[in-house]
Amino acid sequence: MAAASPLKRFLPSIESGDRNFVRDAWDRLGKIPGGKTIFSKMVGRAAPYTGTIGAKVVSLSHLRSEVVLEDRPAVRNHLRCVHAVALVNLAELTGNVALAYSMPDDARFIVAGLEIEYIKKARGRITGVCDCPPVESSERQEYQVPVSLRNERGEEVAHCTLRTLVGPKKSK
């Protein structure tokens, strides 16, 4: 029988369902050297498409998140700016981690739609910032989750609103 990896002993089980895995993982990893990178890679493994942009969660707390996307050839379009799909991926990741961190232990969510407005070409490091609405219970409800994407000069390059459904976790 293989020994459990050190991470499995350190982090809660995502299958347990009785805790908020995102909050527990961030609260443990966000404080240690390299922990933010490990957390970001874990999110990318849990949601593989999200992981394709290589973004890093740099700040996460109740109702707020900041996620950074470094400009590099893999996320650029033919105009040498950050691709629209990479930006929408960053917006979804930013909003999702803020909401997930802030939800009650017995809640889950899914993005049911989104709107994004591209304001200007995105070049250089892009930071996604989300101040999400409070989720007080796991009662089925839709939330509007706003995300601002900003360049290194602090200029907004895109604004996104995620239409997110929150509800109770499935019973075992």
Residue 1 domain-assigned?
Answer: no
Supply the CATH number for residue 48's domain: 3.10.129.10
> Which residues form the domain of 108?
16-168
Q: Which stretches within the chain are classed as H helix? A: 6-10, 21-29, 35-46, 48-51, 84-102
The pLDDT value given to residue 18: 77
Residue 146 domain-assigned?
Answer: yes
Could you read off the pLDDT of 69-82 as tens digits, one per residue? 999 999 999 999 99
Do the Cβ atoms of 55 and 125 come closer than 8 Å? no
Is the predicted pLDDT of residue 11 greater than 90, yes or no?
no
Alpha-carbon span 89 to 67, nearest angstrom = 11
Alpha-carbon span 96 to 101, nearest angstrom = 8
Residues in the chain, overall count: 172
Q: What are phi and psi of 153, to 5 degrees?
A: -85, 0
Distances (CA, A) of 112 to 24, 96, 115, 165: 25, 12, 11, 6
Residue 4 domain-assigned?
Answer: no
Residue 157 domain-assigned?
Answer: yes
Could you read off the pLDDT of 94-119 as tens digits, one per residue? 999 999 999 999 999 999 999 999 99
| Cβ atoms within 10 Å, residue 37 | 13
Tally of domains within the chain: 1
Residue 7 domain-assigned?
Answer: no
Q: Per-residue confidence at 1, pLDDT binned at 50, 70, 90?
A: very low
Residue 76 domain-assigned?
Answer: yes
Q: Average pLDDT for residues 134-160, to the nearest whole number? A: 97
DSSP 5-30: PHHHHHS--TTS-SS-HHHHHHHHHT
Pick the closest to residue 116 from 125, 108, 128, 124 (CA basis): 128
